[in-house]
Amino acid sequence: MAKVMILGSGGREHALAWWFKKYGHEVYAAPGNAGTAIDYRANIGLDLNNFEEIDNAAVENAIDLVVVGPEDLIVNGIVDYWDRSEAHQEGTKIFGPHMAAARLEGSKIFARRFAEKHGLPIPEYLAFNSGNFRRNLTMARRHLAGMNKGMERELLVVKADGLCAGKGVGVNKSVKDAEDYLESLKRFGNAATDFLLEERLMGEEVSITLITDGISYKAFHHSQDHKRRYEGDRGPNTGGMGAYAPTGLITPELERIINKDIIRPTIEGIQAEGLEYDGILYIALMIQDNKPYLIEYNCRFGDPETQVIVPLVDADPYRLMMDCIYGNLDKADFRLKQAYSCCVVLVGEEYPRTSSKGEEVLYSPSNFGKDEIFMFHAGTKMEKGNVVTDGGRVIGVTAVSDVSHEDAIAKAYKAEQKVCFSGKDFRNDIGYRVRDEKD
């Protein structure tokens, strides 16, 4: 049994904690949420921006392994910091890529250049990276004006180069919208000094999750997130309103193409660039006309994808991550269950405009944790002994079925009814693309 500290406080982190616990490990969640507090009684109140605090907590609790949930910690160099930390001296390992490799997520321009250099299929793009926002804006406006006259390539998607908490991408339908979005990049400060204009792709999105030591990799089930707020993929982008796995969208032929054109060149590119990558590599794809395109890389687990892929794995996460850290991933025991999962995310009604705060969350624990039905908390906290809402995405209800997608979806929606809080809302069509198919 190992002692594992999971950094973060979302549904992803609760699902990771559940996975470690399933294999008998002792879990500390930092800072965690009400779900991790109730399930493991070991939340550690930490400021995740303060790496020294994390280091001290790891030493005090004699942690064996630190698992990092959110991207900003990785992009800001917690893994590099760890190499010099006291905890590291004491033998505490950390799971995640180094800062130079995490630029695959931390800089969209770096990721596009990497993909181009290593021959991955990507949308057409133009990078505006003078380091001066005004100058970039002038150049980008000039391009958009040329598009209006039909003289320039149509590049309507605007992407801030740096991390913007998932809000730095504008998928625009018109030049006017693109112009407005460009203006709005100011609100992101330095993260959006440089940016991209990109061709708009249309198709199905698929999330690929790999664990890799930069040489070999193991793939979790492909999954699909539902990013838009309302049914039928309408409304604003959110952190993710639900997910299901496996996607059922990938034919064996497409799988072969994804391996050949996306995964292999990515791993080879990581090696060729000399990037130290021990961790999760999440690859977001768009399938357009039966061809996969790279949308983005993330250097951590997805949320809510984790809540559907982790219950479909037969592998001890501690062993798996340690094998990855020690470069033994090729020999790791990692099996996927042939089953189906669905996660319905319960949000406050004003999400994503505002968060839900302080509403009491009522549920009967006896409805969860058995029959492959799990409740993964996200924006919740304990207040005077009660669970209350504390975020936009409040709870994700995941169900697993050995039978079919439809069964997993039906189970998740039945279980969701057992959770109540004022203003509760959710999408009622999670998994709609696979709902009517025979499995």
**Binding stretches for ligand GLY (CB under 6 A):** 225, 240, 298, 302-303, 305
- Shortest CA distance to 365 belongs to which of 345, 383, 384, 387? 387
Q: In sequence order, what are the beta bridge partners of 287?
A: 204, 292
Give the count of beta carbons closer than 10 Å to the beta carbon of residue 37.
Answer: 18
- Binding residue count for ligand AMP, defined by CB under 6 A: 14
Q: What is the DSSP string of 194-248?
A: SEEEEPPP-SEEEEEEEEE-SS-EEEPPPBEE--EEETTTEEEE-S-SEEEES-S
Q: Which does residue 296 bind out of ligand GLY, ligand AMP, none, counting CB within 5 to 8 angstroms by kind?
A: ligand AMP
- Beta-carbon-side half-sphere exposure of residue 4 (alpha carbons within 13 Å): 30
Is the CB of 123 or the CB of 235 nearer to ligand AMP?
Answer: 123
Residue 303 interacts, among ligand AMP, ligand GLY, none and using kind-specific CB cut-offs from 5 to 8 Å, with ligand GLY
Taking the complex as a whole, how short is the minimal distance between the CB of residue 288 and ligand AMP, in angstroms?
Answer: 9
**Shortest distance, CB of residue 360 to ligand GLY, whole angstroms?**
28
Q: Is residue 295 a contact point for ligand AMP (CB under 6 A)? A: yes
Residue 305 interface partner, choices ligand AMP, ligand GLY, none, CB cut-off 5-8 Å depending on type? ligand GLY
Site string for ligand AMP, 163-202 (x = CB under 6 A): ------x-x--------------------------xxxx-
Report how far apart, in Å, the C-alpha atoms of 345 and of each of 20, 370, 435 are. 22, 19, 17
Q: Which does 200 bind (CB under 5 to 8 A by kind): ligand GLY, ligand AMP, none?
A: ligand AMP
Q: Which residues have CB under 8 Å from 417's CB, separation 6+?
A: none
Which DSSP string corresponds to 379-426? SEEEETTEEEEEESEEEEEEEEESS-HHHHHHHHHHHHTTEE-TTEE-
161 belongs to the binding site for ligand AMP (CB under 6 A): no
Find the helix or strand (DSSP H, E) in which 93 lies. strand 93-95
Min. distance of Cβ 412 from ligand AMP in angstroms? 22
Residue 323's closest CA among 211, 210, 222, 221?
A: 211
Closer to ligand GLY at the Cβ: 136 or 302?
302
Q: Considering beta carbons, is residue 30 or 280 the nearer one to ligand GLY?
A: 280
Q: Which does 35 bind (CB under 5 to 8 A by kind): ligand GLY, ligand AMP, none?
A: none
**233 vs 407, beta carbon nearer ligand GLY:** 233
Residue 194 touches which of ligand AMP, ligand GLY, none (Cβ within 5-8 Å per kind): none
If binding is defined by CB under 6 A, does position 227 make contact with ligand AMP?
yes
Decide: helix, strand or coil at residue 275.
Answer: coil
d(CA 278, CA 144): 40
Distance, in Å, from the CA atom of 325 to the CA atom of 116, rounded to the nearest integer, reads 28
Nearest to ligand AMP of 12, 411 (CB atom): 12
Residues that bind ligand AMP (CB under 6 A): 123, 157, 159, 169, 171, 198-201, 205, 227, 284, 295-296
